[in-house]
Amino acid sequence: MRAQQLAQQLKARFGDLLSEPAEFRGELTMQVVDPEKIADICRMAKEELKFDYLVDITSIDNYGEDPRFSVVYHLYGYEHRAYLRLQLSVSEETCQVPTVTTVWKTADWHEREIYDMMGIRFAGHPDLRRILMWEGYPHHPLRKDFPVTGKSTSVPGIAFTEAAPLAGGPFITVAGGKDAMAREPRGRLPETDSTESKGPSQQPLSTGH
C-alpha cells in the first residue's frame, strides 16, 4: 500500500494534471495530463515523497496513433522501497517536453538517448547532443518507421552508413513460428525458409539465459 499512498499524495497536490494511479502486476502508473508540469511533479516525488532514484526514462513510438510518442519515468525510493511510473504523451508536431535534469542530474544521459534514438527534444536540457549517433545524423533509429535494414547516410568528412544486406541481417523476429527457436531474432535469407537456414549468419542470437 505504500506506493499507492504516495501516489495519492501526488494526485492530491496536482489534481486533474495527473490521472488516478493504475495498478498492473503490482506496479503503479500515473498519466501526466499536462507535460509542462512533469518537472514540478518529479520534484515533489523526489523531495517530499522520497522517490530519490530515477531508475530510467524510456520512450515509446505509438506509430499510427495521435499523440504518437510516450515518455515514461521510472522512479524508486530507497527509504520506502516503492516504485512509481509516470507517463506522458508527446505529439509528433510538438515532439518536446521539459527536462527533468533540474530534479535528477542523471536524467542527462537518459534524455540525450531518447533525443538521439526517438527525436524527442527536452526543453532546458543543459547539453542536448546525440549520445550514440554522430552529430548531423538526420534520422532517429528507434522510430517505428525507420527501416530495419537501416538507411544510407553520408555526412562528408564525418561518417557514413549503408543499408544492411538482408543476407547477413538485419536480425528480424518472425511472429508465430512453431517454437521459441523459430521466433529467435536472426538474419533472414529472402530465398530460404527462415526457420530452416543453417548458415553461420542464421544462428539465433544469444539471449544470455
User: pLDDT tens digits for 56-114?
Assistant: 999 999 999 999 999 999 999 999 999 999 999 999 999 999 999 999 999 999 999 99
CA atoms within 13 A on the CB side of 82: 18
Whether residues 84 and 27 share a domain: the answer is yes
Q: What is the DSSP string of 71-86?
A: EEEEEEETTTTEEEEE
In this structure, what CATH number is given to the domain that contains residue 64?
A: 3.30.460.80
pLDDT band at 154 (very low <50, low <70, confident <90, very high): confident
Task: Tell me, yes or no, whether 39 and 98 share the same domain.
Answer: yes
pLDDT value of residue 118: 97
The rounded mean pLDDT for the chain is 85
User: For the chain, what is the domain count?
Assistant: 2
**Which residue range forms the structural domain that includes residue 62?**
2-123
Shortest CA distance to 63 belongs to which of 164, 147, 152?
147
Q: Which three cell numbers stand for residue 20?
A: 488516478
Let me know if residue 134 belongs to a domain. no
pTM: predicted TM-score of the whole model, two decimal places:
0.78
Q: Are residues 107 and 175 in the same domain?
A: no
**42 assigned to some structural domain:** yes
Q: Is residue 159 part of a domain?
A: no
- Would 96 be classed as within a structural domain? yes
Least confidently predicted of 15-29, 45-59, 178-192: 178-192
Does 112 lie in the same domain as 10? yes
Of 61, 88, 123, which residue constitutes the final position of a domain?
A: 123
